[in-house]
Amino acid sequence: MGIPVDESEAYLALSAVQRRRQQVLAEIGVPAWYWFFLALGWAGLGVLSDFGPSWAVTAGTAVFGALHATLAPRVITGRRGSSQLSIRGDLVSRELPAMIIGFLVLMIGVTVAIALLLHADGTRHPGTFAGAIVALLVVTGGPSLIAAVRRRAERG
């Protein structure tokens, strides 16, 4: 037999469930250190492209790519935005890793375009400037992308 619940008790219970759901959805994310790791790598490769020998640029790119390939699968799922909670996969968009990789591919294109434009303009150290600009875009744009995914999950 069920215990009778009046309308106000039901409303309070549903409100509590909704608040908890919002708290869980607020945990959707990628750790902040990931975006800073990418930004530092991006800026570092830009500096290396201007001041290092070609073999160092190639080696630096390979090392950075290998580090990213090792770390990314663990953090870009959006399920571990903090160490406090791991979110069920069905709450996070399955497209999030593809969206993050797409964002990074776009940033590669932006880096190349900026560097080429700066080089054509005669700017000294175009790789450094392009790397720094895109590093700032990564640090600000990455969390914005995650915030958009979080808002989408809240509506769903």
Q: What is the pLDDT of residue 37?
A: 95
pLDDT digits (tens, 9 = 90+) for 55-86: 999 999 999 999 999 998 888 876 655 555 55
Question: Taking 90 as the threshold, does the pLDDT of residue 9 lie above it?
Answer: no
Contacts with 98 (C-beta within 8 Å, 6 or more apart), sequence order: none
User: Quick one: pLDDT at residue 18?
Assistant: 73
Res 43 pLDDT > 60: yes
Least confident of 28-32, 48-52, 100-104: 28-32
pLDDT digits (tens, 9 = 90+) for 107-134: 999 999 999 999 999 999 999 999 999 9
User: HSE-up of 95 (CA within 13 Å, CB side)?
Assistant: 9
DSSP conformation letters of the chain: -PPP--HHHHHHHHHHHHHHHHHHHTT-B--HHHHHHHHHHHHHHHHHHHHS-HHHHHHHHHHHHHHHHHHHHHHTTSB-SBTTB---GGGS-TTHHHHHHHHHHHHHHHHHHHHHHHHHTT-S-HHHHHHHHHHHHHHHHHHHHHHHHHHHHHH-
What's the pLDDT at 93? 60
